[in-house]
Structure 1
Amino acid sequence: MIDDNEKKKVKLDKKTALAKAEHYCAYQERAQQEIRDKLYEWGLWSDDVENIISELIQTNFLNEERFTEAYVSGKFKIKRWGKIKIKQGLKLKRIPDKMIQRALNGIDYDEYLNAILVAAQKKAPLIKENDAFKRKFKLISYLMSKGFEKDLIIDVLKTSDLV
């Protein structure tokens, strides 16, 4: 019986790894760091890893800017995350700050404020707290955990009369 620690690491040759990496990138947008980690996982050496990444960039399978825009769009429109949480996620994927900022600037301001309002409207009735101050604190904490900025949350709550 072989347990997980004793399993042989799969060692791929450069050509096979490139084909596999192309398929991996074609399936979904990826960050360079994700590909790099995957290639090392497949047992390639650093020279081969960097060569494959260069090849993927040249053939447009890997485009960090396209990945960043897709990530921001998906996390905001589908998951309803705020900019702070999205930025943290991109930093974990080692995306450059300028690229993150450019992609975050693509989020429509009014749509962003509306996302805060909608999240607040959904959460407010679920907070079981009699003290108005504590209720407001819990709502603000919840919205901050979704990645929204505190000053924007307070502005939205003031204009909406939710708390």
Structure 2
Amino acid sequence: MTKKITKIEAQKRQGRYNIYLDNQYAFGVAENVLIRFRLVRGMEVDDQLERQLIDADDVAKAYSRALDYISHQLRAESEVVQKLKDLEIPTDKIPVVMGMLRENHFIDDQNYADSYVRTVMLTSDKGPSVIRQQLRLKKIGENIIDNALVNYESDRMLENATKLAEKQLKHYHKTPSRLRKQKVRQSMMTKGFDSDMITQVLDSLEVEEDPEEQWNNLNEQARKIWERNRRYDDRERVMRTKRSLVGKGFSFDEIQKWMDGR
């Protein structure tokens, strides 16, 4: 069945138009659809063309919503796809929209990954392994991640790792000195730095020791543990307290000194 366009009316929403067929409102279209199909008054529209126009407008609306989503910040392709799904865009329209976004260079996972690495490098204490894992969560490919991590300058990585180590050494200042570097190493690995970088940093730092502070810390910990074990007989109480203090990193000599003086 063929109908004729009798009126084209601009909507209040900029860039959209109402199409009237045989003096009856039929559907709305985006401006780019209007132009692409050269819609004018008097043009005949059959059922097939009407379906094409509605389908093209569905893509145009989805594309517009995708542009709105990525206008505020860079997005990975997987984020845009998920957003379109959340917006209940028809599944068959999503690949078309994604193709348009790529063609116009509005999305680019390599650009996203490069930017992400530079931002994390300059604003956080995260190492390469954590960055890799976070990009994987965005469904970024391994080759793209490898290329992006080249942007993590070695000097900057050493600087970030050193700052993190210094921060963690202060955090664990009450930890017995023989365990302090081990705690810091674990923290740095969790943050994504590799073993070689961690060793390089820790070898360059001096771990300050304050015997008085160490003793006060031992005394504080020992008193708490001793009190917690009060329900046991003296022999069992001593054994359990020593075992707990050794587990916290205190040396046997220090523990025995406290035991002798309690």
* Shorter-chain TM-score tier: 0.7 to 0.9
Which structure 2 segments of 5+ residues have no match?
Answer: 1-56, 209-262
How far 1:117 sits from its partner (Å)? 0.5
From the superposition, tell whether residues 44 and 153 of structure 1 become closer, same or farther in structure 2 (CA, over 3 Å): same
Is the deviation greater in 17-26 or in 92-101?
Answer: 17-26
Q: Which structure exhibits the higher relative contact order, with contacts defined as CA atoms closer than 8 Å and separated by 6 or more residues?
A: 1
- Pairing 1:103–2:140 present: no
Contact 1:26 1:61 in 2 (8 A): no
Whole-Å Cα distance in 1 between the matches of residues 207 and 150 of structure 2?
A: 28
Q: Which has the higher strand share?
A: 2
2:195 corresponds to which residue? Answer: 150
> Which of 87, 95, 100 does residue 55 from structure 1 map onto?
100
- Pairing 1:73–2:118 present: yes
Q: Which has the higher helix share?
A: 1
Whole-Å Cα distance in 2 between the matches of residues 128 and 159 of structure 1?
A: 18
SS of equivalent residue, structure 2 residue 101: helix
How large is the Cα RMSD of the aligned pairs? 1.7
Amino acid of the structure 1 residue aligned with 2:91: S
Whole-Å Cα distance in 2 between the matches of residues 80 and 59 of structure 1?
A: 34
Whole-Å Cα distance in 1 between the matches of residues 144 and 193 of structure 2?
A: 20
Contact 1:121 1:162 in 2 (8 A): no
How far 1:130 sits from its partner (Å)? 4.2
Whole-Å Cα distance in 1 between the matches of residues 205 and 179 of structure 2?
A: 18
Contact 2:74 2:112 in 1 (8 A): yes
Whole-Å Cα distance in 2 between the matches of residues 97 and 57 of structure 1?
A: 19
Contact 2:59 2:96 in 1 (8 A): no
1:14 corresponds to which residue? Answer: 59
Whole-Å Cα distance in 1 between the matches of residues 168 and 125 of structure 2?
A: 13
What is the total number of aligned residue pairs between the two structures? 152
Amino acid of the structure 2 residue aligned with 1:14: V
